[in-house]
Structure 1
Amino acid sequence: MAFSEDIIEKVKESNDIVDVISERVKLKRAGRSWTGLCPFHNEKTPSFNVSSDKQFYKCFGCGEGGNVITFVMKTRNLPFQEALKYLADRANIDIGEDEGRKNETEKKEVFYKMNTEAARYFFRNLTLNKNVREYLYRRGISEKTIRHFGLGYSENSWDSLLKYLKAMNFKQDHIIENGLALKSKEGRVYDRFRNRLMFPVFDARGRVIGFGGRVLDDSKPKYLNSPETPIFHKGTNLYGLNFALKAGKERQYIIVEGYMDLISLHQAGITNVVASLGTALTKVQARLLRRYCEEILISYDADTAGQAATLRGLEILREEGFDVKVIKVPDGKDPDDYVRKHGEEGFRNIASSALPLIDYRLENAKGNLSMSQEEDRIAYARRATEILKELDPIEKDVYIRKVSEDSGISENALMDMLKGGKGREQQEPETGHEIQSFIEQAHVKAERNLLRLLAEGDLVLRERLTESDMVLPSHKRIWSLLEGYDGPREAIWNHVESGCTDVESSKEWAIIKSQIEVPSDIDKDILAEDYLKTIRHYEIESKKRAMQKKIKELEEKGLLKESLELAKELIELQKASGR
């Protein structure tokens, strides 16, 4: 449901930004503004500034900024419409909902309450079952941890939960739709989870959205999760994110595979951990993490499936711009086993020596190959060069030396393989022109799409962006015309059209106007983040190309020391950009 500008402005005006932020951050007056420790990154000296006059916040440490709505969106992990509704309720403003949406919202609230009651039921079962508690104690899980994560037990019964929920006045059809019961072909309704250790799954706001159940015997499947429901979508949530957010402002998160991995790490004192709910990491999960951290350490099980999941996850995280590293748990153990044996310090030690993305891929390529056998050395070199082909020239130079040292094959031979080698038809492009053109094209489209959103009167986005977010001069001109101009869409468009007095701006504005309007049910904030990410990628790639050109010029002049220093800066830039 789209809300009018009048409603948005009324909600903002009725929620003073200082009051709202003070609920989360301890603010101190500094002249006409307020300052405090930033809620978005760790800091000891306050760099977070809130302007009561402008109703705007800005952190001069990490760059986060926005208005009262964006603050609620980021700190409470809410989409725009829910953040607006939260603030409207806070100010007792009725913003209205259409009947269909209202019914869907009410049903979801019923499902959240049902899951809360189910979690309480499972927890009570656990407190009464000595065998299950002793199983957890043997796994090193304390009573305090059991309570913290709300662990429970589903009885070895066909319908005990079903009867309990029906006695709590929940409808049978809703219990089935919420994934807590199943209906057979014969029409018999029975509990989904039976004789299992139960793990409530929470969303980022701390609401119970689903469950995971682990068997306590040799039956299959070992783990059983809630199905997709109106409130539970496995590929869009992360187990333990709510606990990680409460733990602090870490800009580094650890991703593990299973419930017990996460719980054992938490109990040991390592709380910046999330788990991928037993699935391969998805792009949506990676984007969710991007709101909260910049560096990811991934620690999946050491078996073949775990390694394959790690490689898939690494690529997704790299594409989202994370600095990615892999924790290699010794002796093929999983994080749960290792931290129980070696404690917090032991796990932090192996985390501190986590392998960067390329190093992990090269080590994985080596596998069980023996570098004392000629055939294995050649096989490793071929695998390694396939990985190195994806790298920038400076990275290639660094890693060719490493592969040469590992395999005993000369750098020249490896370079020949990279360039195509004999027997290969593949050739590298003569220049980076085609790649550069593609990047520029994507960046231009992203700028146009952002400006189209602004032209639709997106006030929240307008306050998030600045002229520096645009690269093309014509787009900067259009942004300056849109910035600060309010009114209906037709008035905004006429204002921009009359202000585009040069040919290039007029041409670009005509293209922007012709863009297809974004449907109302699409999350425009996520779209905007993607567009901004594309622009940032272009800017970083442009900077890399300029640095590479400068390095070459320095080398040609014989200024090797200066060239090496700049090469180090380039590598750091590549690491920071996830490449």
Structure 2
Amino acid sequence: GIRNAVATLGTSLTREHAIILRRYTDKVIVVFDGDEAGKKAALRVLDVFLPEGLKPLMVILPEGHDPASLIFEGRQDEFQKSLESAAPILDFMIERNIRSFEEQKTSRSAAVKEIVDVLSKMKDPIERSYYIKKTGESFGVREDELLSLLKFGDKLKGRISARKPANNDERLVLKTLLKFPKLVDYIREDDLIDIFPENEIKTVLEHIILNGFDDLSSLLFKFNDSSVQEAISEVVFLSDDVPDEATAWRLLKDCIRKLKLKRVEENLRVVRIKIDRAIAEKNNLLEEKLIKEYRDLIQEEKNIRGRD
């Protein structure tokens, strides 16, 4: 038979269970059914076991089987071997999230945040360091960025913001400046902050322009607004394919150009509406003024598009 085994009586594991188990061992092998519900139940034990210093492993049984059915079919040796080759649940979780991201079932940000949240509960600093490195390599996120989010801990956990998300160009500008802080001078000297719409990205950029920043962790702690914190964390998980400052400079100028065009296009839309209203109201003076403003905007748009 198999010694040192205990039934969970369902999937309801609690902190009290973990504390009792920790008195006897630091390694626990979890065996749930081989279906999707069983795999999800195995993942849930991370929240219970890791804070108590336990190292949970898992056995994935063949689809449609549980331990009793394997034993009943005379497959004791197979089951024993599966126990001996049990793998860390955290490894399974990371691989599962990688597949979900690669299959576009979830975003990079959501996949990594779920892992970071679990790592924040891990007591062993050496184990945590190993998994930070593994997560960074798997998702293309720098280790220092993961460490900053890890230090930030539960402040980002489970927060869902009702804000209107920034577009990708705005995020890329912030991402580039976080990686190459010297380029902040380009935004500051040309007074480009006004081209950004009023949102969380602009709030962060204004802070950086006025105060600079030491590192990502300190920047996160500067803001009490959860939506701003969430915006920063989303930027961290953007794909990072900017290898050097020269490339970053070109990317920054291209993003600024697109943002300028977007602002002009929005102004053109608003002025067109005003012109139609002036025509309807037969306000000729206002109509002439707005038409001139519209032409100036058209020229500004041409100038922006004509720049390298």
Q: TM exceeds 0.5?
A: no
Q: TM-score range by the shorter chain?
A: 0.3 to 0.5
For normalisation by structure 1, the TM-score amounts to: 0.23
Which has the larger share of strand?
A: 1
Which has the larger share of helix?
A: 2
For normalisation by structure 2, the TM-score amounts to: 0.39
